Chain A
Amino acid sequence: MKPDQVKNSVLNSVRLSLGRRPGDPVAERPPAPPFRKAGNPESEIALFLKEVAALSGSAKRVNEETLESSLEDLVQSEGVKKAVLGRTDDLAGLNLEEKLKALGVEITPQGAGKHALARCDLGITGADFALPETGTLGLLASPDCPRAVSLLPRVHLAVVRPSSFRPDLDRVFLEAMDRRYLVFITGPSRTADIELTVTLGVHGPKSLHVWVV
C-alpha cells in the first residue's frame, strides 16, 4: 500500500468505529481544573529552592557579590577543568566566562558539537522558566544554548532570574508551545532500577546546581 492509502485506511477504521465522517465537528474539550496561582515573589523563590534541594539538587541564592566565591567553590568541589556556557540574555552581564578563566577553567564554545560537549565537566545555562511547586527548570533550545549543554557535562549549573518564575505548567506552555524544543529538568538524572536504590547521574548530569540570582 502507498503511504496515503495506509493513512486513509487507519483513519477510516477509526472513523468507522466512532461513526464519524471526514470533517465532522469536534465537540468542545472538557475543561481543566484551575491551575496554581503565584504566591509572593519571595515565597515562590523559597519554595523553589526547597523543592530543588529535596530532589538532591544543590540550590541557593547568589548575588553579584557572592557569585565569584560560589563559582570558585563549585569549580573546586566538582573538580571542574572544562566548561561550556550558554550565551543567553539571562547569563549575559554576569561575566561567567572571565570568572571561570580566572579560576583556570578551559572554556569550550557552545557550538563545538556533541563530542566536545561530552568532555566538559560543567555546563552552565540560564533557565527560561522556573516552577516552584515542583522545583522544575524549563529550558528552551537555541543556537545560543544548544540542547546538549544541560545534558552532556557531568555537572549542570542553572542560573535562574526571578523573572523566569511561573506559577504553574499552563503559563509555561502558553509561552513555549510555539517553540521547537523545551525540556523540563526536575532534579539531577536519577534511577532506582537496581534494587530500588536511588542512584544519581545515570545518564544525564550527576549533579545539579541551581542559583537564583
Chain B
Amino acid sequence: MSVPPKTISFGKYTKHIPPGIPSAVQKATAKFWTSREARVAELPQWEDLRRAASDIRLHTLRHLDAYLERFTDRFAGAGGRIHWAGDAEAARAAVLGLAAEKNVKTAVKVKSMATEEIGLNRALQSAGVEVWETDLGEFIAQLAGVGPSHIIVPAVHMTKEEIAGLFREKLGVDAPADPTELAAIARKILREKFLAADMGISGANFLVAETGALVTVTNEGNGRMCTTLPNLHVAVVAIDKIVPDWESLAVLLKLLARSATGQKLSAYTSFITGPGRSPDEGGPGEMHLVLLDDGRSRILADPGAIETLKCIRCGCCLNVCPVYKNVGGFAYGWFISGPTGAMFTPQILGAKTGRELPFASTLCGACNDVCPVKIPVSDILLYLRGRVVEGDAVEGPAAPPLIRAGARIGALALGTSWIYRSGAALMRSLLSPFGRDGWLNTLPPPVDRWTRVRPFPLFKSRFRKWWAGRDAAGPAGHAPFENKTRDGGKS
C-alpha cells in the first residue's frame, strides 16, 4: 500500500467506494471539526497565530539550507547521528543498514507519514525484521494489510465488529466487539513488544534548528515508548519539518492539536535532544535521524507550489473537504490523502502518475479557510491542473496527445475572429432544430458528458450583437438573456 503506485486512478476508485466508508469517515471528520471549532472559538488570537505560523513556515522554507545546517550541527553535537537521504530508496537503505549493523530482530514503530512515504515496513519485513505498528489505528490497519484511511484515525473505515474479527483471525485471541476491550488486548500485546524491541522507529512533527531537538506528538503514549525503551532510536523525517527555534515551535504547537483533533495539546509531546545521557536516566543509547528529501527540494524552486511544504500534517483540510468526506482516504492512492494529499502526491510522484489528483477537488476553498498555516490549497491545485497538461520536471506532460491537439485547435479557433464567428454560426444553426423550450436534452459523444447530468441551454441571442448594442441599452449594459424584458420596458 505504501509503495508508490504506478498510476493513481482516483476516478476509477471512486466509482466503487466500499459501502460504509463515507458514513464512517464523516463521523470522524464531523467529530474533529466540531471540537476544532470549539477550541478556535476559545482563542481570540487564532487568526494572529495562523498568520504568524504561515509567515514562519514560509520564512523557514526560504532559508531551509541554513536551518538544515544549523539543525544537523546541533543534533550531532548532542550525540545523534544524521543520515542524509536524497530519495526513498536511500532512506530505506539507511534504516536497513542500521538494522543489520545492530542485529535488529524486532522493531516498534510510531505512526509516521515519512516511513509510509518510503515504504519502510515492507522493506524491513523483507530483510527479516519483525515490525510492529503501535498506534492503535495503525496497528489495526497493519493487521488488515491496508494503509491509513485518515491521517489521524487510520482505521476509521472499520467497525468494531470487523476489528474484533481481525484480532481473532490474526492474533488468535478471543476478542469481543468492544473498543475498550480491543484497546486492552492491543495494549497487552504491544507492551511486550515495546519492552523487547531492539529498535524504535519514529517520525517527527518538528525538528528545532536552534538546539537540534526532535519533537513528537502522540495521544496514546506509543511515541514515548518507541523513543524511550529500545536501545536504538531511528527517526525518519523529511527536510520540511524544520522550525527555526523554540518560539516558532510554541506557535505551531498551539495550532497543531487544535486543528487536528480539537484538543488544546495532544496527550504527549516529547522534546528529545540526542540519545539518553545515562542508563539511569533512561532513553536509547543511540539516536539516528534519516533526513529525507524525496523531491521536496525541487518543490522549493517553484513559487506556485512552494507553500505545499508549509503543511504540518494536521489533517484539518480532510475534515472540511466535500470530496474527501465522500470518498475517504484510499481513493488518493498513496499514504497521504485529502486536499493536502491531492496537492503533495503529484509533485512527488509526477504530474503523470498523479494526474487525476489536482482534479479531486471542487476548488471550494474550505481547506484554505481552515489551514492553520494558511496554505492556498485550491490555488495550488488549480496551478497543478495546468502542470498536468504542460508537464513537470518529474515526468513531462501527462495529457494524452489528442487532448493537447484539441487544446491547440481550441486556442486557434478562439483566438481567430473569423473562425470563431463562423463556428458559432454553424453551432447555432446545427443545434436549434433539436432544442425544446430552449434546452437540448441530448448531445452526441464525446460532448454527451454534459447532457448526461443536465440539459444544455440553447443560445438565446448572439453575444456580438448584444455587445454592439449595449451602449444603446443603458450605461451598465444588460446580460443577453435579459434583453427582451429590458428592451420591452425601456422608456
Contacts and interface: CB of A to CB of B under 8 A. Distances in A.
Interface of A: 3, 6-7, 9-11, 13-18, 20, 22, 24, 26-27, 29-35, 51, 55, 111, 113-115, 118, 133-136, 141-143, 146-148, 151, 168-170, 173-174, 176-197, 199, 201-205
Interface residues of B, number: 99
A188 B266 CA distance: 10
A195 B66 contact: no
B66 A24 contact: yes
Contacts of B239: 10, 14
A186 B267 contact: yes
Nearest to B292: A10
Contact of A191 (B136, B263, B265, B293): B136
Contacts of A169: 249-250, 253-254
B443 interface: no
The interface centre, meaning the residue of A17, A33, A191, A199 with most chain B CB atoms within 10 A of its CB, is: A191
Nearest to B161: A195
B375 interface: no
Contacts of A31: 52
B183 A118 contact: no
A17 B298 contact: yes
B3 interface: no
Contact of B264 (A115, A134, A177): A134
Contacts of A168: 250
A174 B27 contact: no
Contacts of B83: 3
In order of increasing CB-CB distance, the 4 nearest A-B pairs are A204-B221, A17-B301, A193-B137, A30-B55
Given A11-B65, A118-B195, A180-B78, A33 B271 contact: no
Contacts, number: 252
18 contacts: A7-B84, A26-B66, A29-B59, A32-B56, A146-B282, A180-B272, A180-B273, A183-B271, A186-B264, A186-B269, A190-B219, A193-B140, A193-B153, A194-B179, A196-B27, A197-B179, A197-B180, A202-B221
Contacts of B299: 17
A133 B65 CA distance: 36
Given A29-B244, A33-B48, A184 B268 contact: yes
B211 interface: yes
A182 B180 CA distance: 30
B134 interface: yes
Nearest to B280: A143
A195 B179 contact: yes
Interface stretch (B185-193, B322-330, B451-459, B471-479): B185-193
Nearest to A19: B301
Interface in B223-253: 224-225, 228-229, 239, 244-251, 253
Contact of B182 (A15, A17, A32, A194): A194
Nearest to A28: B59
Interface in B71-86: 72, 78, 82-86
B65 A185 contact: no
Contacts of B86: 6, 9-10, 13
A9 B239 CA distance: 13
Interface of B: 27-28, 31, 45, 48-49, 52, 55-56, 59, 62-69, 72, 78, 82-86, 90, 134-137, 140, 153-156, 159-160, 163, 179-180, 182-183, 186-187, 190-191, 194-195, 208, 210-211, 213, 219-222, 224-225, 228-229, 239, 244-251, 253-254, 261, 263-274, 276-283, 291, 293, 297-301
Contact of A146 (B163, B180, B281): B281
Contacts of B186: 202
A56 B268 CA distance: 15
A148 to B, nearest CB: 5
A180 B277 contact: yes
Q: Would you call the interface of chain A mostly helix, strand, loop, or mixed?
A: loop
Contacts of B160: 194-195, 197
A192 B66 contact: no
Contacts of A27: 59, 62-63
Given A10-B291, A146-B281, A30 B52 contact: yes
A31 B55 CA distance: 9
Contacts of A177: 208, 210-211, 213, 246
A169 to B, nearest CB: 4
A32 B247 CA distance: 7
A134 B160 CA distance: 31
B282 A16 contact: no
Contacts of B271: 176, 181-184
B277 A183 contact: no
Contacts of A142: 281
Contact of B278 (A16, A135, A143): A143
Contacts of A26: 63, 66-67
B219 A115 contact: no
A32 B144 CA distance: 44
Given A35-B250, A134-B265, A195-B179, A18 B301 contact: yes
A143 B278 CA distance: 7
Given A10-B297, A114-B195, A203-B190, A141 B282 contact: yes
A133 to B, nearest CB: 7
A9 to B, nearest CB: 6
B206 to A, nearest CB: 12
A184 B264 CA distance: 12
